[in-house]
Amino acid sequence: MNGAFLIDSSTRSLKCVLLHNGNKYASIPIGHSTSMKEEYESIKLALEKLKYHVHQWVICVDLKMVNFLLGQQSDYTKYPCSLCLWDSGARNDHWTRKDWPLRKNMVVGEMNIINKPMITNRGKIILPPLHIKLGFMKQFVKALNEDDSCFHYLFSSFPELSIEKFKAGIFDGPQDQKAH
């Protein structure tokens, strides 16, 4: 199937859905629980039961779920980013420094990694289009240094987008539909 695997959870339920790229076909619910909590162990169990390790779908999740999938500590942490080692405690650098070291490995016990990552390929995790529409990506991309590897990775993910629109953080329109 050409699409993504969506995981969404709340305090009341956990949902797993296969999404078709391009909205040509309906979404397929493949997992739902009203008793599983929004916890690392619940997400891990759902991935095991759905045999994620066999299928290796692209996963579409919100930022909170990224933490679960990568074994990161949630909430108030020193290194909250899954891409780089942005230091949330370095307040003087937040608006001036754009080049933070890349996060190379997700090692338990280091840099706010408290559980074994469930997903080893971070390239398989994408944010839902809603996050892009709400402007999170715009703010994120505008803060990146153009020479940074993160900037180049994101730019390569939107091949139909012009460099000018990308630098401006404009991610809406027909040119980026294939990336979703």
Q: Can you give the pLDDT of all 180 residues of the chain as single tens digits?
A: 456 777 777 767 777 777 766 667 777 777 777 787 778 888 888 888 888 888 888 887 877 788 888 888 877 778 888 777 888 888 888 778 877 888 888 889 888 888 999 888 888 887 766 555 556 666 667 777 777 777 777 777 777 777 777 666 665 544 444 444
Q: Based on the structure, what is the number of domains in the chain?
A: 1
**What phi and psi values does residue 88 have, to the nearest 5 degrees?**
-70, -15
Whether 162 is covered by a domain: the verdict is yes
Q: What is the rounded distance in angstroms from the CA atom of residue 21 to the CA atom of residue 65? A: 21
Asked whether residue 84 is domain-assigned, the answer is no
The pTM of this model reads 0.63
Q: What domain range includes position 139?
A: 129-180
- For residue 113, being part of any structural domain is answered with no
The answer to the question of residue 120 being in a domain is no
- Residue 153 in any domain: the answer is yes
**Inside any domain, residue 112:** no
Structure tokens at 10: 């709340």
